[in-house]
Chains A and B, each alone.
Chain A
Amino acid sequence: MSYILEAENLTYAFPQKTLFKNFDLKIKKGEWIVFIGNNGSGKTTLLKILAGVIPVQTGSLSLSSTSLQKAYVGQLDFSHYDRFPATALEVVMSAYTAPLGFFKNPSASQKAEAIQLLKDLGLEDAIHQQLGQLSGGQRQRVFIAKALLIKPDLLFLDEPNSALDSNFTLNLFKRLKSYQAQGMTLVMVTHDLALGQTVADRILCVEEQNVLWLDEKAITEELAHRHHHTGGYDHVV
């Protein structure tokens, strides 16, 4: 079996706290993995390590190919962009910068693709608006659109629906499911176990220095414990 991402013996610790120890993870191409866990459990750190945003402390991390396209959408500091003079389209189009390399500019069809993606994510009115004039949910969708535009092989998402209402969440996850069907691999952090159960192929729980795979029974028990409603995302899949 070949894997798109393999992590072995990952350990990550702060001076006063170990987040996880000797953790192994193998992700198949086209899988959707979800991390859940309490605040401060280390799931965002784990996601960042796998995404290559922060370096591995101990252990090893390898991808099936060095030419894999990766994209990472972290938790956004929305206020950071309040006064930045860039439209939603300019932000999304900047995703082409690295793939195109020096001296090439996006073509008309690539621009049309970016506009279509923004429309698909319900942002048709925001295309030419300055980022600072958009709501938190709109900004979150702009950054997701930026990540999706280059159709990455591996997409890392940290609570991608934290600022979205249920309609846009449904729309977004339907779209992500269709990308998954085309071969995209997704690794996502969420607090919403019900949503995780609906979209994920496997769910990992990061808790108290342990990283555990949750089976159906454990998920059902946990959901009952949390009094979550599981019916809300039925039509995502």
Chain B
Amino acid sequence: MIMLFDYVFMQRALWVGLLIALISPLIGQTLVLKRLSMVSDAVAHTTLAGVAIGIIVGINPMISALIASLLGVYLVDILRKRLPQYAEVAVAILMAIGIGLAGTLSSFIPDTNRFSAFLFGSIVSTSASEVIWISGIALFVLLSYSLFYKEIFALTFDEESAQYAGVKIKFVNFLVMLMLSLTLSIAAKTVGSLILSSLLILPVATALQLSLSYRKTLIWSVLFSVISMLGGLILSFYFGIKPGGAVVLLAVAQYLLLLPIQRRQH
């Protein structure tokens, strides 16, 4: 039997996949609970626009993706404040900007395969330098989350009352959005922008069905995320299917499998 670890590209894919699976639910939990699930999708689209700009201009697409996703997050924040009653409109506007820009700019890219790799990812072609980038960013996200765990909980639970109590909400909000931008930009090349936005949300939605505490929901979300990521990669290796799709489908399968538990509780 062919062994996964015999190949350097699979070693890299598994390591990078594991890191992304570890950090995605940390950000995803805040997005889901603040009813901002679609933000990840919208920012993912602006990330794609950033990738297109990077390829056209000739800079590292991961850097241009990061800048675009930071701008996207900033824009959605401004729009949400301007239209507080219609937060979802802000998300839809950002998504429209992202899709419009990504679609138009992609026409100027001669090698369309290079661009579409960012849509669904190409984790098995992760380079050594990308592994270092991703490891650094994942470490930053993990450290930030553990250092500011109680502040992120306060922000997620009730932003207004946390601000009233004196929690530095602006900083915590910025930190969460920075973590989201960083994760989306590094994931664009590996699991793909569109697939990551599902990975941010699905494991959290699955863990929520267990009706646990905040901390335990987070732990289970990470576990579900790691299972679907590593499971998807292994399946893709042995069955020759696209890893991104396999990962998301496994995450969906977990969600569906746990649905009866939620039904029993309600």
Chain A residues near B (Cβ < 8 Å): 52-53, 70-72, 83-87, 90-91, 94-100, 102-103, 105-106, 128, 130, 132-133
Contact = CB atoms under 8 A, between A and B. Distances in A.
A85 B204 CA distance: 11
B157 A96 contact: no
Interface string B162-177: 1011111000000000
Given A86-B153, A102-B151, 17 more contacts: A70-B164, A72-B164, A85-B207, A85-B217, A87-B213, A90-B153, A90-B213, A90-B214, A90-B215, A94-B150, A94-B157, A97-B150, A98-B167, A102-B147, A128-B213, A130-B212, A130-B213
B148 to A, nearest CB: 7
Given A86-B157, A86-B213, A102-B148, A95 B165 contact: yes
A91 B212 contact: no
B200 interface: no
Interface residues of A, dominant DSSP:
mixed
A105 B150 contact: yes
B212 A96 contact: no
Interface residues of B, number: 24
A85 B154 contact: no
A84 B213 contact: no
Nearest to B148: A102
Contacts of A70: 164
Contacts, number: 63
Contacts of B166: 98-99
B211 interface: yes
Smallest CB-CB A-B distances: 7 pairs:
A98-B166, A85-B217, A98-B165, A97-B154, A87-B213, A86-B214, A98-B167
A103 B213 contact: no
Contacts of B165: 71, 95, 97-98
A220 B162 CA distance: 40
Nearest to B204: A85
Interface in B124-148: 147-148
9 contacts: A53-B164, A84-B157, A85-B207, A85-B212, A94-B154, A95-B165, A96-B150, A97-B162, A98-B154
B208 interface: yes
Contacts of B215: 90
B33 interface: yes
Nearest to B221: A85
Contacts of B151: 97, 102
Given A83-B208, A85-B208, A97 B214 contact: no
B157 to A, nearest CB: 6
Nearest to B218: A85
B158 to A, nearest CB: 8
Contacts of A132: 211
A94 B213 CA distance: 13
Contacts of B154: 94, 97-98
A51 to B, nearest CB: 8
Given A97-B151, A97-B154, A100-B150, A85 B214 contact: yes
A128 B215 CA distance: 12
Given A53-B164, A91-B157, A133 B147 contact: no
Which one of B147, B167, B214, B217 has the greatest number of beta carbons of chain A within 10 Å?
B214
A32 B75 CA distance: 45
A103 B208 contact: no
B214 A133 contact: no
Which one of A86, A105, A133 has the greatest number of beta carbons of chain B within 10 Å?
A86
